[in-house]
Amino acid sequence: MMKDVSPSARKMNRKSHRDKPVSARQGAKSSTRPDARKGSRDGARGPRKPTADRGAARVSEATPAAVSVRMVTVDEDQAGQRLDNFLRVVLKGVPKTHVYRIIRKGEVRVNKGRAKAETKLAAGDVVRVPPVRVSEAKAPVVPGMQVAQQIESAILYEDDALLVLNKPSGLAVHGGSGVSLGVIEALRQLRPDCRFLELVHRIDRDTSGCLLIAKKRSLLRHLHAQIREHHMLKVYNALVDGRWPARKELVDAPLQKNILQSGERMVTVHPEGKRSKTRFRVMERYQDATLVEASLETGRTHQIRVHTQHTGHPILGDVKYGYEQTRELAEKVGLDRLFLHARKVGVNLPDGSYREFEAPLPAELVKVLDGMAR
């Protein structure tokens, strides 16, 4: 426990320390000191490093994320965030554990008072952000010319709050799990002046089509509320194996995520899974396959892919769900990707208007359908 010492006592203590001869102050470092101080009989551990040295070692390979205290005022677009999430944006590159530590120690203040990590911020709040140091971050992966051109040419709509992409198949929406660069990371580098860019929702890497990206936090919160209430329209096109039953308009089957021993994530129909509903409508019939429209009533991972497999009509080109059943036909029609396309998204905007965004079917999928129609 630390003891309170008056300023005058500390001053006297420093004076007496300075008045001592050098030999007396270095008594602890004398060569005649027993080896027991090293912490082991054979002295393998060695003497402890002074506190100052340990601190110097900790910052020697670091760069300052902030060199002085900052007072950050929360604007309307940032309002409603938790304090910890706000700091993770303000202190980019700082480990999450360190963010929670400075909150817990009271180094972060909101309107001059201590606050908890879960504190919700309001517009006009003033957040005291202490100086922190972080390890030198690796240089970000720069999107190649091809990826940059793909993304720029895929923009369907953009205003000051929303960006809509016709995401190409094969491009992940975000990095992770072996993917160094996704759509959102590439966009942030292509648009360095955009203060805020976040995914509104996600679609699978192999799926193409409509992807919404918020450029304002207020819009992100507004659209996330619609997703939670299942009020966002999401319509897909899928080419499924065989003849889809005309009366099969609704698949209501609970889905559960599973992790295989290999680490691969799979989703299965399971009675203890989450409620999952997909509506289907036949759009075109071919000799060996059916083009269907799938509308999501819930938004579970791999929902359409698992529901079509569950009915016995997996999506062509799906290497995860029903590939053995569809491989021969996919090769026959020249399909080398998943035939699943997010064609339409409909949302209610903050101004009360309703907007639908539609992504045309990619050329490679149109070519497959043309070939099957002959």
The residues that are catalytic are 204
Phi and psi torsions of 269, nearest 5°: -75, 125
- State whether the Cα torsion 28-31-32-34 is positive or negative: positive
Rounded CA Rg of the chain: 30
How remote is the C-alpha of 246 from its chain's centroid? 39
CB 212 within 8 A of CB 223: yes
Closest CA to 341 of 367, 359, 357: 359
Q: How far apart are CA 189 and CA 271, in angstroms?
A: 43
Structure letter (DSSP) for residue 41: T
Closest CA to 362 of 171, 170, 208: 208
How remote is the C-alpha of 213 from its chain's centroid? 13
Q: Which residues contact 291 (CB under 8 A, 6 or more apart)?
A: 237, 238, 239, 282, 283, 284, 285, 369
- Give the orientation angle of helix 96-104 with respect to helix 83-90, to 10 degrees: 120
Query: Is residue 237 within a helix (H) or strand (E), and if so which, with residue range?
Result: strand 233-241
Listing from the earlier edge strand, what are the strands of the sheet with 126-129?
Answer: 70-73, 126-129, 109-110, 113-114
